[in-house]
Amino acid sequence: MNGVRIDKWLWAARFFKTRALASKACELGRVQSNGVLAKAAREVRVGDALQVRNEAGDFVIEVLTLSEVRGPAAVAQALYRETEDSKQARAKAAEERKAMFASQPAPSRRPTKRDRRLIHKFSGE
């Protein structure tokens, strides 16, 4: 196998839960291959450097092997190698998020129905 569609590979490597989400991320510019924005049909090859942004954080990875089939998490992690800088940046971002939530006081009670309506109105839901 020479190359695999990037959306299939991202799905197989478990960066996204579905292939449709991987494809959508490519459309939105959240995936770069060798410094270039990647479309879903772009082929990924062994040795490519990918930059992937998802809900878990920003990943900078190197492709080690190719796969079109989604397997167990242990197999998926063997498909790529994350750079040390990427690991440190994600750990730092997680610590900052944790510190931000720790500084906010916990609510003294559950919101009432009126409070919930105000919250939804404020957040635009």
**What's the pLDDT band for 4 if we cut at 50, 70, 90?**
very high
How many percent of the chain have pLDDT more than 90? Answer: 82
CB–CB of 78/46 below 8 Å?
Answer: no
Kindly state the average pLDDT of the residues 99-112.
86
Q: What is the pLDDT of residue 24?
A: 96
Q: pTM for the complete prediction?
A: 0.79
Q: Please name the residues in contact with 21: beta carbons below 8 A apart, sequence gap of 6 or more.
A: 11
Cβ contacts of 90 within 8 Å, gap of 6 or more: 56, 57, 58, 59
**pLDDT, mean of residues 5-14:** 96
d(CA 61, CA 48): 8
Class of domain 4-102: alpha beta
Is the pLDDT score of 49 beyond 80?
Answer: yes
**For residues 120 and 125, what is the distance between their CA atoms, to the nearest angstrom?**
5
Q: Let me know: does 13 contact 76? Beta carbons within 8 Å.
A: yes
* Rounded mean pLDDT, 93-97: 90
- Could you give the C-alpha distances from 95 to 52, 64, 84, 85, 103, in angstroms and in order? 20, 29, 17, 15, 12
Condensed to tens digits (0 to 9), the pLDDT of residues 28-45 reads 999 999 999 999 999 999
